[in-house]
Structure 1
Amino acid sequence: MHKLTVLYPEPADRAAFREYYLNTHLPLCAQLPGVQEITYALDICEPGAGPYFGVFQATFADEAALGAALASPEGRAVEADVRNYATGGATVFPFEVQTLPLP
């Protein structure tokens, strides 16, 4: 399994970020081919209290599925849309997920 994680620093306007993100950006993300799950959190720190305002994760079956999603027209649209709301920028990183078997 592979995940794509995006960390969002504090935006210039939290309310504007939230409105655009929930109503425009996340619906675009939901169209990524091969995406299995999307999770996110906003307001993870009080203003000025931490380095990040929000976090996003999308899960894919494997590295190839993640790469195909990012290279797709939908993936390019998601990437291009970030500048429309993330005034603080965004840190993006993909990684393979390891699972710890529990007893």
Structure 2
Amino acid sequence: MHKLLVLYPHPRDPEAFREYYETTHLPLAAQLPGVLAWRYSFDVHGEPESPYFAIFEAEFADAEALAAAMASPEGKAVQADVPNYATGGAVVLDYPLVTR
């Protein structure tokens, strides 16, 4: 299993971010080929305070499946859409999951 994690710092307009993210961006992300599951939250906590406003996770079978998804037309559309709502930027991480 391989995970994609996107951390979103606080945007200039949180309500505009939420609206666009849920109505436009997430439907694009849901079309990524090979995505096994995905989830997100706007309820991100930290100590003393989280530097992140939102988080997105997606699971793929392996690193190759993630790479293929991001290279696909759908993946390119998802990546190109980020500047339309993420005024605080985005931190994108991916990693294999280790289970014991």
Q: TM-score range by the shorter chain?
A: over 0.9
Using the TM superposition, give the Cα deviation of residue 21 of structure 1 relative to its aligned residue in structure 2, in angstroms. Answer: 0.2
User: What count of residue pairs does the alignment treat as equivalent?
Assistant: 99
CA offsets, 1:58-77, max 9 Å, x none? Answer: 10001110000000000000
- Structure 1's consecutive aligned runs of 4 or more residues displaced over 4 angstroms after TM superposition are none
Aligned to 2:35: 35
Identity of aligned residues (%): 62
Secondary structure in 1 matching 2:26: helix
Aligned to 2:54: 54
Secondary structure in 1 matching 2:77: helix
Larger Rg computed on CA atoms: 1
Unaligned runs of 5+ in 1: none
How high is the TM-score relative to the length of structure 1? 0.91
Aligned to 1:44: 44
Aligned to 2:95: 95
Task: Give the partner amino acid of 1:94.
Answer: D
Unaligned runs of 5+ in 2: none
How far, CA to CA, are the matches of 1:43 and 1:4 in structure 2? 19
Aligned to 1:74: 74
Q: RMSD over aligned Cα, in angstroms? A: 1.6
